[in-house]
Amino acid sequence: MFMKLPGSLLSSLKELKGFDKEAFERAHASGEQITSIRINPFKLLETKASPLGGGLVGAVLWSQYGYYLSQRPSFTLDPLFHAGCYYVQEASSMFLEQALKQTVDLSQPLKVIDLCAAPGGKSTHIQSLISKDSLLVSNEVIRSRANILKDNIIKWGCDNVMVTNNDPEDFAKLENYFDVIVVDAPCSGSGLFRKDAEAIEEWSLNNVAHCSQRQQRILADVWPALKKNGVLIYSTCSYSKEEDEDIVNWLMKDLSAANCQLSIDANWGIIESTGGYRFWPDKIKGEGFFLACFRKTDGDADVSLKIKKMPDSATKKELAIIKKWTKTDSHHFIKYMNTVYAWQQRTINDFSFLLGNLRVVYSGTIIGEIVREKLVPDHALAMSLMINEWIERSALNYEQAIHYLKRKELKLETLTKGWRLVNYEGHSLGWINVLSNRINNYYPKELRILKDL
């Protein structure tokens, strides 16, 4: 496959550390498509259940949970994908894991924000690494993308996350609040030319300059929200110095950010470059990527939460209903209208504080709606890790699972009436409600598979 790279891009890269023009062009002309996934450690402890039609062929060297596939299967037609057992993610971007492990104590309760989070790759990765007592704010400024982000967060199954739909400047009022800020910044996208050849047509030096200015605005807007000694992790999928090393220099000069050096294995092929780490496609098994870490040297280390209003809690009567469905030892249940949400006990004050200051799309885990003193369970509960063992389950074979995920009517043998989970290879896909004359499929309409086998 011939891929003509912009001459102005190649010229702009020639002085950068690790750039080899001939090898760089060969990598883009090779037509090689690298597919990688990151497994969900809360759901898939063993990698033997690999994606349908794509066997595992090796680990991503810088990630505990990342694996390469032999080929790209149809993930849409893999029930394990819909069960949230893994996330399809570009291998280079999994280097975020090293940045977190080497700069913060992940065993401690942390407040983390993924500022530009959609569609959810880095947020689900962060959730796999932080402690259950930590809190993640997963933010996306574009509302339609925030809904996609919410769906992926729900699929992952954790309850220590809040999905928000805010501009970066909205976080300035949360002064000294976060321990970690992750900014995977919007960029000119040259690092993804191999995966998206059409992006070449949209690339220009003017767009690089525009992106660089926007990246500075985003970082300056969110910087007040980072507490003293907190960590900022900045990344792009651009090769351009203006969006990478120049941003590193600007951060250290204008924001008094101290650059953090990471330890990298020489066998990984990653190039250390002026305060950051470059991923060249001819040196690593992945796409173009840049990441740098910083520690804040000014500000305060503590913040006082001014809670405007605590949300309503579920009543004793409602709690009695909820407890039949869930493991409730570490959760607090709040109610908005008729919908019940589960929050971790430890995050109640933080969630309440954020609820009063941000546009919240989703928080904790939706348990369901209480209607006429009965619970109508939500899909988020089916995806979660907090369902009571007594809930009845039905195992589906592959054809039945695809039928269910297309939201078609199921024909299952003699089932008792009522709500039950449907599983595929032991992993929950969602709810059905068995009536006397039919089975109602409650898989969410907006998530249903439209593709044919």
Per residue in 385-397, pLDDT (tens digit) is 999 988 999 999 9
Same domain, yes or no, for 331 and 193?
no
Q: Give exposure, 320-335, as e/b (b: 16+ Cβ within 10 Å).
A: ebbeebbeeeebbbbb
Same domain, 426 and 291: no
At 299 the pLDDT is 82
pLDDT of residue 47: 53
Question: Does the pLDDT of residue 265 top 60, yes or no?
Answer: yes
Pair 124, 191 in one domain: yes
Q: Where a domain ends, among 296, 312, 340?
A: 296
pLDDT for the residue numbered 126: 98
**Is position 138 within any domain?**
yes
Residue at a domain's end among 253, 272, 296: 296
- At residue 52, the pLDDT reads 65
Where b means 16+ CB within 10 Å and e means fewer, 407-426 reads beebeeeeeeeebbbbbbee
In a domain? residue 254: yes
The answer to whether residues 385 and 407 belong to one domain is no
DSSP string for 136-196: EEEE-SSHHHHHHHHHHHHHHT-SSEEEE---GGGGGGSTT-EEEEEEE-----GGGTTT-
Q: Tell me: do 406 and 350 sit in the same domain.
A: no
Q: Are residues 355 and 433 in the same domain?
A: no
Least confident of 17-26, 43-52, 159-168: 43-52
Same domain, 279 and 177: yes
For 215, the domain range is 92-296
Q: Please provide the average confidence, as pLDDT, over all residues in the chain.
A: 93
Q: Distance between alpha carbon 162 and the CA centroid of its chain, in Å?
A: 12
Measure the CA–CA gap between 39 and 44, rounded to whole angstroms.
6
Does the structure show a pLDDT above 80 at 53?
A: no
Q: Does the residue 253 lie in any domain?
A: yes
CA 80 to chain centre: 17
Does residue 49 or residue 159 have the better pLDDT? 159
Same domain, 139 and 237: yes
pLDDT, tens digit, 9 for 90 and up, residues 176-221: 999 999 999 999 999 999 988 888 989 999 999 999 999 999 999 9
Residues 6 or more apart whose CB falls under 8 angstroms from that of 7 comprise: none
DSSP 5: -
Dihedral Cα 98, 104, 110, 115, nearest 10 deg? -50
Compute the average pLDDT of residues 235-251: 98
Query: pLDDT at residue 2 above 60?
Result: no
Q: Is 23 in a helix, a strand, or coil?
A: helix
The answer to whether position 335 is within a domain reads yes
d(CA 54, CA 61): 19
**Judgement on whether residues 411 and 437 belong to the same structural domain of the protein:** yes
pLDDT at 46: 58
Determine the distance from the C-alpha atom of residue 233 to the mean position of all C-alpha atoms in its chain, rounded to a whole number. 15
CATH of the domain at 159: 3.40.50.150
pLDDT at position 337, please?
86
Is residue 73 domain-resident?
Answer: no
Count Cα atoms within 13 angstroms, Cβ side, for 168.
22
**Residue 125: is its pLDDT beyond 60?**
yes
Which of 270, 296, 322 delimits the end of a domain?
Answer: 296
Residue 255 has pLDDT above 90, yes or no: yes
In this predicted structure, the answer to whether residue 427 has a pLDDT above a threshold of 60 is yes
Residues 166-170: what's their mean pLDDT? 97
Residue 259 and residue 337 in one domain: no
Q: Taking 70 as the threshold, does the pLDDT of residue 51 lie above it?
A: no
Q: Residue 365: pLDDT band by 50, 70, 90 thresholds? A: very high
pLDDT at 266 over 60: yes
The CATH number of residue 352's host domain is: 3.10.450
Residue 50 DSSP class: P
Share of the chain above pLDDT 90, in %: 84
% of residues, the chain, pLDDT over 70: 97
Report the pLDDT value the prediction gives residue 453, as an integer from 0 to 100.
60
Q: What is the pLDDT of residue 403?
A: 96
Prediction pTM value: 0.96
Rounded CA gap, 127 and 136, in Å?
A: 7
Residue 321's nearest CA partner among 392, 389, 394, 371 is 371
Same domain? For 335 and 451 the reply is no
Task: Tell whether 83 is covered by a domain.
Answer: no
The mean pLDDT of 128-149, rounded to a whole number, is 97
**CATH number assigned to the domain comprising residue 431:** 3.10.450.720
Predicted confidence (pLDDT) at residue 303 exceeds the cutoff of 90:
no
Region of poorest pLDDT, from 31-35, 321-325, 359-363, 368-372: 31-35
pLDDT at position 48 is: 54
Are 289 and 182 contained in the same domain? yes
> Residue 197: its pLDDT value, please?
80
Number of domains, the chain: 3
With 70 as the cut, is the pLDDT of residue 49 above it?
Answer: no
